[in-house]
Structures are given as structure tokens and as C-alpha cells.
Amino acid sequence: MNQNPTLECIPGKVITLSTQLEKPSPFYFGYDIEESFISELEKYTFDKIFFFTEPHLFALYGKDLYLKICEKFPCALEFVPTGESCKYFPVLEEVCEKLITKGASKKSILLSFGGGTVGNIVGLVAGLIYRGIRFLEIPTSMTGQTDSTLSNKQAVNGKTGKNHFGVYHAPIFIWVDTKYLKTDPPSSRRSGIIEGIKNGFISDAAFLDYLEETLNPDVKFSDEQLYHLAYKIILSKLEILKKDPSEKGYGIILEYGHTFGHGIEWLEKGKLSHGESVSFGMKIAAELCKQLGFISQKDVERHYYLIEDKLGFNNPLPRSITAETLLDAMIADNKKTGRELRYVLLEKIGQCYNPEGDYLVTVEPKLVKKVLENFIQHQTQLLTA
Ligand SMILES: NC(=O)c1ccc[n+]([C@@H]2O[C@H](COP(=O)([O-])OP(=O)(O)OC[C@H]3O[C@@H](n4cnc5c(N)ncnc54)[C@H](O)[C@@H]3O)[C@@H](O)[C@H]2O)c1
């Protein structure tokens, strides 16, 4: 039956319908909020929960929560390898097959308890099994709480680059308890905070003032300070996502420093974290913006000050990285865009350059190479000093 009497079948006429599929996931935030978690879970109907975590996180916090869930619901425990090593195809295949063998059904819910890597692998598994089942995230690291869970991007790494294989799959909800940040290691804390610094540079100069007052190079904070810091970094990203949840238009500015950062991360094969790699990427991007005449030497120095003096990401770039190897790695990583290398650039502090409505900008390769050579030469001097 025709639901719409005015609908005419006119050959060649294209009409647009909306799938209405975009749906934000509830994001719960607090300190020491485990008690409320079970009542949130009770709102959902499911046959079983599969609780994924890393062994040391299970010992630290996961066990208490897991036992609480077991008191009320059928729940199985699954471990994944620690850190980035879980984001590869063999782990993905093993986890998927194991879940089927252990009776996961379309009615099951996967739960990820851990940093961004556990969230990514579990999110991808949930997106693939039976063409997509539900999952929820309990991020425990600064990056997990303030960055990775806000994107719905689930991926594993390929042979030539980071996050080459994945899906967009949204969790049914995200449960952020900043209590867990107490034991997040300093390097992991810095990795989350660097993205907050980035958010200040690209969209909110006032946020940089707050970070300058709040940060310390040892990243030592009270529970209350961690709570406020995480909250403000989350808001700094949400402000950007509000304008472009797809991260493909305006939201692409979140990639500031990442073209260089991804190349560095890939070359270092796990020896440098995503955050530390991006910290180098942001310094190089700032140098490039200065060479293009967009920002001043003082603005570049503010990058160094915040990243090195205030956040404590102050190791020099590893000696093995050269301008040539880095450019090759960036080109390999960039395969996904099918275009030449492009960069997010700052027009001024708190604002990105946007010629003709595109925040990803092509830069003369010779200039990029010169900026890289100068940066690497300076880093080598630091290593030999
Ligand atoms: N989807 C996205 O949009 C997005 C955004 C940012 C990052 N990511 C991905 O996230 C990953 C990085 O996330 P990450 O920095 O959380 O890395 P991670 O998951 O490797 O965690 C960092 C380290 O901290 C430990 N850890 C986590 N929470 C802890 C706690 N409370 N106490 C003690 N130790 C704890 C982990 O065991 C690990 O050793 C990368 O793979 C990156 O690609 C994805």
C-alpha cells in the first residue's frame, strides 16, 4: 500500500529519504560511580555479558565490577593482550571465533574495560560479529575517557599503518569513572592530555590558559584535579564534535599534528605511544605553520612550553627517524585518503586555516621536507648535547 498518497512514480526523479540512523550514545561521567553501574545495566535486555579487559586492570579494579555484574547477570570474563599489541588481525580473529564458540548471540553485550586499545578491539569485534551486536565501554585511561570513546571509530592496525581496518560502531553507553585515572601511568596520562592541548590550539585559546595553570610535568594530580581535567578535556572535544560529529568536515581539525604523528608512531612500532608521537607531530606542525607565515615564533614556543615544560613530553625524537623515513611512513599511512599528503594548519592560536572550506591543506612537499630536516637536526643536537 502506498503510505503517501502524494508520492508519484516519476521516471528519472530522485527523492531523498532520511535513514535517521545517527544516535548519540549516553555518556555517564563521575568519580567512584560503580554502584550506579548495575542499575544502568538493568535497563537493557540481554542473554549474557562478555567482560573484556587486560589482566592487570582486572586485578586493579575490574574484578570488583565483574563480580558485581556476575551477582545479577550471566557474565563471562575474557582477556586481551595489553596495549597496542591487541590491535592486530590475529587477535581480532581469535576473539571473534572464541566468542562464537562460547555462545555469544545477537542478544549478548560485549563490555570493554580498559584503555583505548581494549575499547577499539572490543568495539570492532562487536561491529563484526553477526554484522553487529551491542557493546559498552568503561574506559580506564585518560585517552580512553577523554578521546577514543567519543569517536565511535573502532579499528585494528594493518601491515602498513595504524587503524587501517575498522568500522564506525557506537556503544550503547559509555561509563566514565575518573577513579580509575589514579593509577593510569604517567605516559598514558600524558597521551590523553596532549589531545586536550591540541584541542586548545585548534579551537579554544582560553582552554590553553587553563591547561597552563593546571598541568605539571610529572602529571601528578589529586583525584579531584583528575576529575576536573578529564571533564574539561572531554568538553573541549565535544564542542568540536557538536559542530561535526562525522569528523570529516570541521571535525577533521582534531587531526592537527596527526599526519606527522601517525608516521612517527608507525616508524617506532610501539616504542612511542600514540600521544607522544602526536606531541612531536604538533611541534612539527607548528614549525610548518610558522614557515607558512601563519603563526609567530612566540606561538611555536607556546607549543614547546605546553608540551615539554608543562606536560613533560620532553624526550628528543628517536635518532633512527630521518626526514625521508618519516615522509615515507606518512605517505604509506595516508593511503586511505587516496590523495597527496594534507595537513591541518593553525591560522592563529585557537583557530585552524580553512581555505575554500577545507581544513585539510596541501603544502609544497619541499617546504615540508625542509621543516622536517630542521626539526630533526635540532632534535639530533639535543641528543648529542
Ligand atoms: N577511536 C578513536 O577515535 C581513537 C582516539 C584516540 C585514540 N585511539 C586509540 O586508542 C589507543 C590508545 O589508547 P590508550 O592511550 O588508552 O592506550 P592503552 O589502551 O594501550 O592504555 C595505555 C596503558 O595504560 C594502561 N592502563 C589503562 N588504564 C589504566 C589504569 N586505570 N591504571 C593502570 N594502567 C592503566 C594499559 O594497560 C596500557 O598499558 C590507540 O590504539 C589509538 O589508536 C582511538
* Ligand 1 atom, smallest distance to 181 CA: 31
Question: Using CA atoms, how far apart are residues 6 and 34, in angstroms rounded to an integer?
Answer: 53
Question: Using CA atoms, how far apart are residues 58 and 54, in angstroms rounded to an integer?
Answer: 6
Q: For residue range 307-353, what is the model confidence (pLDDT) as tens digits? A: 999 999 999 999 999 999 999 999 887 766 667 899 999 999 999 99
Q: Please give the distance, rounded to the nearest whole angstrom, from the Cα atom of residue 189 to the centre of ligand 1.
A: 9
Helix axes 274-291, 297-304, angle to 10 degrees: 170
Q: Phi, psi at residue 77, to the nearest 5°?
A: -100, 135
Which segments of the chain does DSSP mark as H helices, in order?
A: 34-41, 55-57, 63-72, 89-101, 116-128, 142-146, 186-203, 205-214, 223-243, 258-268, 274-291, 297-304, 323-333, 365-384
Q: DSSP letters along 280-309, please?
A: HHHHHHHHHHHHTTSS-HHHHHHHHIIIII
Q: Is the pLDDT of residue 20 over 70?
A: no
Run of H or E residues at 62: none
Q: Phi, psi at residue 228, to the nearest 5°?
A: -70, -40
Q: Please give the distance, rounded to the nearest whole angstrom, from the Cα atom of residue 146 to the centre of ligand 1.
A: 11
Question: Using CA atoms, how far apart are residues 269 and 264, in angstroms rounded to an integer?
Answer: 9
Please tell me the residue having the least CA distance from ligand 1 atom 21. 115
pTM: 0.92
Nearest to 231 by CA among 32, 24, 30, 36: 30
Q: Is the pLDDT of residue 109 over 70?
A: yes
- In a 13 Å sphere around the CA of 355, the CA atoms on its Cβ side amount to 9
Question: Using CA atoms, how far apart are residues 105 and 124, in angstroms rounded to an integer?
Answer: 16
Give mean pLDDT, residues 86-99: 95
Categorize the per-residue pLDDT at 3 as very low, low, confident or very high, splitting at 50, 70 and 90. low
- Please name every residue paired with 280 in a beta bridge, in sequence order, or none if there are none: none
Question: Using CA atoms, how far apart are residues 194 and 191, in angstroms rounded to an integer?
Answer: 5
- Three-state DSSP at 77 gives strand
What pLDDT is attached to residue 357?
84
C-alpha cell at 347: 591560522
What pLDDT is attached to residue 247?
84
What pLDDT is attached to residue 270?
81
Mutate to test the pocket of ligand 1, among 274, 279, 333, 336 (most ligand atoms within 8 A of CB): 274
Categorize the per-residue pLDDT at 21 as very low, low, confident or very high, splitting at 50, 70 and 90. low
Categorize the per-residue pLDDT at 5 as very low, low, confident or very high, splitting at 50, 70 and 90. low
What pLDDT is attached to residue 268?
92
Q: Phi, psi at residue 336, to the nearest 5°?
A: -65, -25
Q: Which of 138-142, 179-183, 326-330 has the lowest mean pLDDT?
A: 326-330
Domains of the chain: 27-183 (3.40.50.1970), 186-384 (1.20.1090.10)
Q: Which residue has the cell 605539571?
A: 216
Mutate to test the pocket of ligand 1, among 148, 193, 247 (most ligand atoms within 8 A of CB): 148
Q: Phi, psi at residue 18, to the nearest 5°?
A: -105, 130
Q: Which of 48-52, 135-139, 195-199, 340-344 has the lowest mean pLDDT?
A: 340-344
* Ligand 1 atom, smallest distance to 183 CA: 32
C-alpha cell at 64: 570488583
Mutate to test the pocket of ligand 1, among 156, 169, 188, 226 (most ligand atoms within 8 A of CB): 188
Q: Please give the distance, rounded to the nearest whole angstrom, from the Cα atom of residue 154 to the centre of ligand 1.
A: 13
Q: Is the pLDDT of residue 87 over 70?
A: yes
Q: For residue range 38-85, what is the model confidence (pLDDT) as tens digits? A: 999 999 999 999 999 999 999 999 999 999 999 999 999 999 998 888
CB atoms within 10 A of CB 215: 21
Question: Using CA atoms, how far apart are residues 106 and 139, in angstroms rounded to an integer?
Answer: 23
Please tell me the residue having the least CA distance from ligand 1 atom 5. 148
* Ligand 1 atom, smallest distance to 56 CA: 37
Question: Using CA atoms, how far apart are residues 191 and 338, in angstroms rounded to an integer?
Answer: 28
Question: Using CA atoms, how far apart are residues 364 and 296, in angstroms rounded to an integer?
Answer: 20
Question: Using CA atoms, how far apart are residues 24 and 150, in angstroms rounded to an integer?
Answer: 10
- Is-contact 139 83, C-beta < 8 A? no
What pLDDT is attached to residue 61?
96
Q: Which residues line the pocket of ligand 1, CB cutoff 6 A? A: 54, 57, 60, 82-84, 87, 114-118, 120, 140-141, 143-144, 147-148, 151, 153, 163, 180, 183-185, 188, 191, 274
Q: DSSP letters along 29-43, please?
A: EESS-HHHHHHHHTT
* C-alpha dihedral (351, 356, 362, 363), degrees to nearest 10: -70
Q: Which residue has the cell 617546504?
A: 367
Q: Please give the distance, rounded to the nearest whole angstrom, from the Cα atom of residue 240 to the centre of ligand 1.
A: 21
Q: Which amino acid is at 196?
A: G
What pLDDT is attached to residue 44?
97
Please tell me the residue having the least CA distance from ligand 1 atom 8. 148
What pLDDT is attached to residue 366?
95
Q: Please give the distance, rounded to the nearest whole angstrom, from the Cα atom of residue 83 to the centre of ligand 1.
A: 7
- Three-state DSSP at 357 gives helix
Please tell me the residue having the least CA distance from ligand 1 atom 14. 116
Q: Is the pLDDT of residue 239 over 50?
A: yes
Q: For residue range 283-311, what is the model confidence (pLDDT) as tens digits? A: 999 999 999 999 999 999 999 999 999 99
* Ligand 1 atom, smallest distance to 163 CA: 43
Q: Residue 216's Cα: distance from chain center in Å? A: 22
What pLDDT is attached to residue 67?
97
